[in-house]
Chain A
Amino acid sequence: MQDIAPAPLASVGGPAPPAAAAPLPGTPLELGGRSKAGTYQLTLRMTVPQVSELFAAEVRVSLASGAALPDGTTVTVDATMPDHRHGMMTQPVTAAVGPGQWRADGLKLHMQGHWVFAVDVRGPAGYDRLDLPFEQPPEAAAP
């Protein structure tokens, strides 16, 4: 499994870019924004994977209000292909790695095309979610 992206990061937000603009595998990438109900500010950092490559992502969470993130907050990361009506063939595992930081291992996007990462946050500040569109480039994993 490849490691999480080192700095510096390219920043991509908003709707999914057209396929021709999909960043190449190996490119550091940061996705992020405000969660749906406005509770959290989230970022997801990773290195753009190759098709069918196991990879990890780092999630950073803070309260949008600027207050300290309360203890007991947990994060999960999933990914789906809405157009295909399926998710991943893997079951990622997310673990806290520091204050406001989590690492999700076991992500794998087995098809090129439009995926959506779903970052769910649960805790004393409430449940909220952020969907992050991502365009998986066609290059497949080198064995």
Chain B
Amino acid sequence: MKAARTTLRSAGVLGWCLTGALGCTQADEPPWSPQELRVIFSLSPPPTLAPSPGNRVADDDRAAQLGRHLFFDKGLSSNGQVACASCHDPIRHFTDGRQRARGVADTARNAPTIIGAPNAPFLFHDGRKDSLWAQALGPLENDAEHAFDRTAAVHHVAAHHRARYEAVFGPMPTAAELAALPAHARPRPLDSRHPQARAWAAMTELQRATVTRVFVHLGKAIEAYERKLVPLPGRFDRYVAALRTRDPSAAQVLSAQERRGLRAFIGVGGCVNCHNGPALSDQGFHNLGLPAAQGVVGVDGGRSVGADQVRRDEFRCGTVWSDATPTTAACQELRFLNPLFEDFLGAFKTPSLRNVARTAPYMHAGQFATLEEVVRFYQTLPGRAQVGHREWTLRPLPGSVVAADLVAFLQTLTGPLPDARWLGPGG
């Protein structure tokens, strides 16, 4: 501890020289304090990949190859026009550029980036899934997204991806078993009279388990693919690396304006309260008191609904479909989740800010088109929360914070796209 403090003090002294754009010549730019350096160092380098104990093939390259083919396959949708990549387009850092995602119909939420998603303990803006493989299955059966169903997915994979599937998961159902399955069937707990729900109910228990097992494997393969999409270092990370090693070239990595933005971000702006850690996200859920999303009917309860859903989710950690047992450390996030947390009403997950300049529009329903609009919102905090209450600690940004500085800093968080091998369906 003593040694660590000594190191920080040394770094703080050195910081005087490293923060100036022209070495030590900018007398109006104060040095980074030891505490500021400690916060800055906590934000970089980008997060490394966390294990996925609920998915035994999470790091199997053959599973990732299968998942890549599935990710780009429009055949996994009711109209043959929607793939995961439709809303998570690689060239847009795995977003779609739209206010709200559109699958076979319009959805109520913005499509978040996939890059960095594997490290989140809860997925979707409301955290209604607790693993990336379980998350990947949600859109397939969502009526506004892929609008697909379980038996159709099994038939499709048997016809188009059998060899890749069997290389990872073993034999698919036999031809006779497939022939005995309905073309379209899935559980629909809220609509038991739907033809797909009736077809599902008419299947044997063994058939339902067989189909669901294959369906779960698809999610696990997609997760294996998405784990290849890790965030890569940007200019901010190069700056921090230079600070760590006392490299005098740090001063040339970020401009004076970008450094001012960083100082506001970790200081008076208070952004780092929620956007912390290497992902620049606390992975928590907060109610910002955002304006209503244009064109969306009704009020979105956000995490208050998602926290309840994840505890009952068919594919949650520790179920028969998960490769993690409920009593292990793998399921502790779910075990200790407080569904009655007082501020979950109207709260949504803190997004990672890595690559944020490439993932517009912003917020869970795409309320803001640009980073400038986002900062303008934080400058004035107009209006009131649609439901619940705005996070108590949120205050308008101080007048001393220049919006353009913050935006300039946020743009330094952009890293290159992941390895080109993973940016398309391949052969």
Where the two chains meet, the residues of A that have a C-beta atom closer than 8 Å to any C-beta of B are 1, 10, 19-20, 23-24, 27, 50-52, 54, 83-93, 105-106, 108, 110-113, 137-143
Contacts and interface: CB of A to CB of B under 8 A. Distances in A.
Given A91-B336, A93-B336, A20 B1 contact: no
B10 interface: no
A1 B38 contact: no
A111 B342 contact: no
A143 B272 contact: no
Contact of B283 (A23, A52, A85): A52
A138 B278 CA distance: 11
A1 B39 CA distance: 23
How would you classify the secondary structure of chain B's contact residues: helix, strand, loop or mixed? loop
Nearest to A110: B284
Contacts of A112: 272-273, 276
A91 B35 contact: no
A100 B4 CA distance: 35
A137 B38 contact: yes
B132 to A, nearest CB: 12
Contacts of B34: 20
Contacts of A90: 336-338
Contacts of B337: 89-91
B1 A23 contact: yes
B157 to A, nearest CB: 30
B319 interface: no
Contact of B277 (A87, A88, A141): A141
A23 B283 CA distance: 23
Contacts of B393: 83-84
Interface in B264-315: 272-274, 276-279, 282-285
B284 A89 contact: yes
Given A89-B338, A89-B341, 19 more contacts: A1-B332, A20-B33, A20-B34, A24-B1, A52-B284, A54-B336, A89-B337, A90-B337, A91-B337, A92-B336, A105-B336, A106-B336, A110-B282, A140-B276, A140-B278, A141-B277, A143-B47, A143-B119, A143-B279
Contact of B335 (A27, A106, A141): A106
* Most B Cβ at <10 Å: residue of A1, A83, A92, A111: A111
A52 B277 contact: yes
Contact of B332 (A54, A86, A137, A142): A54
Contacts of A19: 35
Contact of A143 (B39, B49, B333, B342): B49
Interface residues of B, number: 38
Contacts of A87: 338, 341-342
B343 interface: yes
Given A88-B338, A143-B119, A51 B282 contact: yes
A87 B336 CA distance: 14
A27 B5 CA distance: 13
A89 B285 contact: yes
Contacts of A85: 392
Query: At the interface, is chain A mostly helix, strand, loop or mixed?
Result: loop
Interface string B129-161: 000000000000000000000000000000000
B329 interface: yes
Interface string B378-412: 00000000000001110000000000000000000
Contacts of A84: 391-393
A54 B337 CA distance: 11
B48 interface: yes
A133 to B, nearest CB: 17
Contacts of B283: 52, 110
Contacts of A108: 336
Contacts of A52: 277, 282-284
Contacts of B391: 84
B212 interface: no
Contacts of A88: 338, 341
B179 interface: no
Nearest to B121: A52
Given A90-B338, A106-B335, A108-B336, A140 B277 contact: yes
Given A24-B1, A87-B342, A142-B47, A111 B336 contact: no
A138 B338 contact: no
Q: Name, among B4, B38, B276, B335, the residue most crowded by chain A CB atoms within 10 Å (CB to CB).
A: B276
Contacts of A143: 47-50, 119, 278-279
- Residue from the set A10, A23, A52 with the largest chain B CB neighbour count within 10 Å: A52
Contacts of A91: 336-338
Nearest to B341: A89
Nearest to A86: B343
A20 to B, nearest CB: 4
30 contacts: A1-B329, A1-B332, A10-B1, A19-B35, A20-B34, A27-B1, A51-B282, A85-B392, A86-B342, A87-B338, A87-B341, A88-B338, A88-B341, A89-B285, A89-B341, A89-B344, A90-B336, A106-B335, A106-B336, A111-B274, A112-B276, A137-B38, A138-B272, A138-B276, A139-B38, A140-B278, A140-B282, A143-B47, A143-B49, A143-B119
